[in-house]
Structures are given as C-alpha cells and as structure tokens.
Amino acid sequence: MSKLDFKILKQKWNARVWQITLNWVTLTTPVFMPVGTKATIKWMVLDMLKDPKYIGDLPEIQLILANTFHLYLRPGDELVKEAWWLHTFENWDKLILTDSGGFQVFSLWLNKTKWPMTNDQWLMDSWAHEVNMKLTEEGVKFRSPYDGSKHMFTPEGVVDIQCNLWSDIMMVLDVCSPSGADKTTIEQHMKMTHRRAKRAFDHLKPKYDDVRGVLFPIVQWGTYLDLRQQSIDFLSDYAWDGIAVGGVSVGESKDLIREVVAFTASKLPQDKPRYLMGVGTPEDITHAIEQWFDMFDCVLPTRLGRHGQAFAAGGNIKITNAKYTKDFTPLTDDCGCYTCKNFTKAYLHHLIKEKEMLWGILLSLHNIVYLHKIVEDWKTNMLKK
C-alpha cells in the first residue's frame, strides 16, 4: 500500500539519487525543503523559488514545509480547509510537507525549567503567554502561546488536522526528548511514540485512499543507539511511504549527531524515502547525503538571512561587519541567485545598517538557493559518474 512512487536513478556506496512522484509532482532526491512555518517562508514570495530570475539555472524548488502546530492555532485548520486547503491558501502548486507539532510542543516544554508544573496543575505567565505542556497517554495538553487557551493534540487528531490542511507528506505525533535526558526517560518517550504511531496509522488506514497525503513515522531517541535500533525495528513496519529521523538537532554535539546519523541510516528501510529533520548547514547536509538520506529541512537559511548572515564556501559572511562598507563585489562568486547577480556586499551592508527589510529578503533568498544548489550540484555530479 503506497501512494508515493520512489525509484532509483543512481546509487553508489552510501549515496543515491532517487525519484519521487506524489500527487502528480515528480522530483529527485536529495532535496532541501525551505521552511514555511505559518503558510509562508519568512520574508519571501513563494514564486521566487520557482523563477529562474531568482534561483538562476537551477531546477525549481518543488517541496516546502509548513507547521501543523502554528497553522492549527492560527488561522485554524478548518479555515484553511474552507479556503480550498493549504496549497490554494498560500498559492503553492507543488508539494507541502507538514510536521506534526511534536517538536514545537517539545520546545515549549523547555519552559518547565522556569515554571515547574505539577501533574494536576497548569501554570502560565498570563502576560507573556508562556506555554506549559503535559504528556498523557491520550496525547499532549498545552496552552496556546498566542492567547493562553487550552488545547490537546492526539495522534488521531494531528492526522486529521494535516488532512484538513491537505498536506502531501504528514508526520506522526512523536515525543521529542530533550538533549541530555536520562535513558529511562528517553525509553519511556520512545515507547509512547510507538504507541502513538500505531494509533495514527490505524486511524489513517481506512481513509488512506481518500486523503491527499502520506504519513511518515519518526525515529527519535537521542544518542542511545540501542534505543534507535528498537525504534527502527518497530517503526519500519509503518514506513508505508517513507520514514523520518529526528532528535539530531536539539543540542547534541556535531560528532554525536554524525555518529547517530550514520548508525541510523544503515538500519533504515532502503526502499523508502528518508527524511532527516532539522538539518540545514551545508556541511551537515553533505554528510547526511553521503549516508543515504534523501530529504532535509531547516529554518537556518532564513533565520541567518534575517540576522545578516549569508552562506559562503569559506564560511558564513556577516554582512553587518564594517569591512563590507566599501566592498563592491558580489556576495559570492559561485552562486547564480538574484542577490549575487545584482547586488554588492556594500549595498547589502547599507540595507542592514538602515534597517531596510530588503536585506532579509535578499540574504534569505541567497541562503535557500545556496543549499538548493548544493543538493542539485551533488545530484548532477552523481548522475554523471
């Protein structure tokens, strides 16, 4: 049972180029997915990602990410459904992957260190709308960061929310353990995620053919390789169309991340797409590609852009530095994006000094295209071998 067609184009050692066809869109992997958390990529017009004027001679970007947690809260998944679903709502005619909200709830959980929560009490700073959460067998309770209202995510409900959004690729509701958590806690979270995954897939199965999206399970569990193995063994049965790997971008050291990535990749089903969540530096993407991972996402390109940093071969360029005041050279020489073809470092430095928001647009565009170029160049070289 699979709606996603995944076939090999080229494979060599621990690297591969595959073709994905889903909902009448065909793309090749590896692929980097820009993050459009709230039905938009920050400071970007989505058409720019498909226009040669902005991305140069690269193939158009065909897969982006949106965030279930935030879209459920605002504007609401029912409103998005009423607007003829997310693709129409944000005017995007390619593929959309939605995460489950598990990581967002986890990140809000960190507030517990500031406001401890007892088993029977919700605690919240009413002015800042700080969020607390509570894990239960039924699901996860949390308060909205927008207005403090109470909500519950269940495995079944999160599938329904993503179906309302009309996502192409959906994620199960997992439990994301914090970096440094003890093994007993992580094992409890693992077993809870396994139960949630079964519930989610049992819920989806009767309507699988009637909804747009496919569903990926998520392997987590920190740096404990034996737990990773247990999770792979259990969740591989639910990799109907693909499988995701999380828990490698929540505070671990780079060496540990790479150890976990290499170990996990060697154990995953080989005939399904593999999505490594939250990875977005050039070097980490390249390493993961060489470990048979196919899909990546990260907020880093746009976040760095808004803070005046640009990816470059010799290390990130901090365009705020005074040395760029009279630097009339392009941002980089080896990027064909709109920013690099049309503007100098001096101009970009001027924009950020004057707080003109165009700086964030131009740098975010460059950073997205830079990562897109890495995966596209890698595919081209691989197919030539």
Which of 131 and 11 is assigned the larger pLDDT? Answer: 11
Q: Please state, in angstroms and rounded to a whole number, the distance separating the CA atoms of residues 138 and 152.
A: 9
Reply yes or no on whether the pLDDT at 131 is more than 70.
Answer: no
Active-site residue among 99, 174, 241, 294?
99
* Residue-wise pLDDT tens digits, 136-183: 999 999 989 889 899 999 999 999 999 999 999 999 999 987 767 789
* Residue-wise pLDDT tens digits, 2-39: 899 999 999 988 889 999 999 999 999 999 999 999 99
Structure tokens belonging to residue 345: 């470092």
Residues facing 140 on adjacent strands:
135, 153
Q: Tell me, what's the pLDDT at 108?
A: 67
Which of 246 and 326 is assigned the larger pLDDT? Answer: 326
Once rounded to an integer, what is the mean pLDDT over residues 192-201?
Answer: 97
* Least confident piece of the model among 93-97, 195-199, 275-279, 363-367: 275-279
297 catalytically annotated: yes
99 catalytically annotated: yes
* Residue-wise pLDDT tens digits, 274-311: 999 999 899 999 999 999 999 999 999 999 999 999 99
Active-site residue among 168, 284, 294, 297?
297
The DSSP secondary structure of 182-245, one letter per residue, reads -HHHHHHHHHHHHHHHHHHHHHHGGGGGGSS-EEE-EE--TT-HHHHHHHHHHHGGG-SS-EEE
Q: Tell me, what's the pLDDT at 126?
A: 32
